[in-house]
Amino acid sequence: MKAKIIITPKKAVLDPQGKTVQTALEHMGYQGIGAVHVGKYLEIEVTGDLETVRKQIDEACHKFLSNPVIEDYKFQIE
Protein backbone atom coordinates (compact mmCIF):
# COMPACT_ATOMS: atom_id res chain seq x y z
CA MET A 1 0.00 0.00 0.00
CA LYS A 2 0.98 3.59 -0.40
CA ALA A 3 0.01 6.52 1.80
CA LYS A 4 -0.19 9.77 -0.14
CA ILE A 5 -0.01 12.76 2.19
CA ILE A 6 -0.54 16.41 1.37
CA ILE A 7 0.55 19.05 3.89
CA THR A 8 -0.41 22.69 3.38
CA PRO A 9 0.11 25.86 5.41
CA LYS A 10 -2.94 26.86 7.46
CA LYS A 11 -4.94 29.68 5.92
CA ALA A 12 -4.10 32.07 8.77
CA VAL A 13 -0.35 31.51 8.38
CA LEU A 14 1.71 33.88 6.28
CA ASP A 15 2.79 31.98 3.14
CA PRO A 16 5.45 34.10 1.41
CA GLN A 17 6.31 31.29 -1.01
CA GLY A 18 2.70 31.02 -2.14
CA LYS A 19 2.45 34.79 -2.48
CA THR A 20 5.63 34.94 -4.57
CA VAL A 21 4.46 32.14 -6.87
CA GLN A 22 1.10 33.90 -7.24
CA THR A 23 2.81 37.14 -8.23
CA ALA A 24 5.06 35.30 -10.70
CA LEU A 25 2.06 33.60 -12.34
CA GLU A 26 0.35 36.96 -12.70
CA HIS A 27 3.50 38.50 -14.19
CA MET A 28 3.63 35.64 -16.70
CA GLY A 29 0.23 36.73 -17.91
CA TYR A 30 -1.94 33.91 -16.54
CA GLN A 31 -5.47 35.17 -16.01
CA GLY A 32 -7.69 34.67 -12.98
CA ILE A 33 -4.96 33.55 -10.63
CA GLY A 34 -6.02 33.58 -6.94
CA ALA A 35 -4.19 32.70 -3.73
CA VAL A 36 -1.43 30.10 -4.07
CA HIS A 37 -0.40 27.84 -1.20
CA VAL A 38 2.87 25.92 -1.36
CA GLY A 39 2.87 22.73 0.66
CA LYS A 40 4.48 19.30 0.75
CA TYR A 41 3.62 15.95 -0.74
CA LEU A 42 4.82 12.69 0.80
CA GLU A 43 4.46 9.12 -0.40
CA ILE A 44 5.01 6.40 2.16
CA GLU A 45 5.08 2.73 1.26
CA VAL A 46 3.46 0.78 4.04
CA THR A 47 2.10 -2.71 4.76
CA GLY A 48 -0.57 -3.94 7.17
CA ASP A 49 -4.33 -4.01 7.43
CA LEU A 50 -6.05 -0.90 6.14
CA GLU A 51 -7.50 0.35 9.41
CA THR A 52 -4.20 0.01 11.31
CA VAL A 53 -2.32 1.71 8.48
CA ARG A 54 -4.83 4.55 8.41
CA LYS A 55 -4.55 5.02 12.17
CA GLN A 56 -0.75 4.94 12.12
CA ILE A 57 -0.44 7.41 9.25
CA ASP A 58 -2.92 9.78 10.87
CA GLU A 59 -0.95 9.69 14.13
CA ALA A 60 2.37 10.19 12.32
CA CYS A 61 0.93 13.15 10.42
CA HIS A 62 -0.27 14.73 13.62
CA LYS A 63 2.82 14.05 15.72
CA PHE A 64 5.63 14.39 13.23
CA LEU A 65 4.96 14.85 9.53
CA SER A 66 2.99 18.06 9.97
CA ASN A 67 3.07 20.76 12.64
CA PRO A 68 -0.54 21.43 13.73
CA VAL A 69 0.39 24.98 14.76
CA ILE A 70 1.06 26.01 11.17
CA GLU A 71 -0.05 23.20 8.87
CA ASP A 72 -3.05 21.11 7.84
CA TYR A 73 -2.78 17.64 6.35
CA LYS A 74 -4.86 15.16 4.47
CA PHE A 75 -4.00 11.73 3.14
CA GLN A 76 -5.29 8.79 1.23
CA ILE A 77 -4.22 5.15 1.27
CA GLU A 78 -3.97 3.40 -2.07
**Helix runs in the chain, H state only:** 16-27, 50-60
Give the residue with the Cβ less far from another protein, 70 or 76: 70
The amino acid that residue 50 corresponds to is L
Q: How far is the CB of 14 from another protein (least distance, A)?
A: 6
Which residues in 32-51 contact another protein (CB under 8 A)?
none
DSSP 8-state class, residue 41: E
8 A C-beta contact, residue 64 and residue 56: no
Give the residue with the Cβ less far from another protein, 41 or 49: 41
What is the contact surface with another protein in residues (CB under 8 A)?
9, 12-14, 16-17, 20, 64-65, 67, 69-70
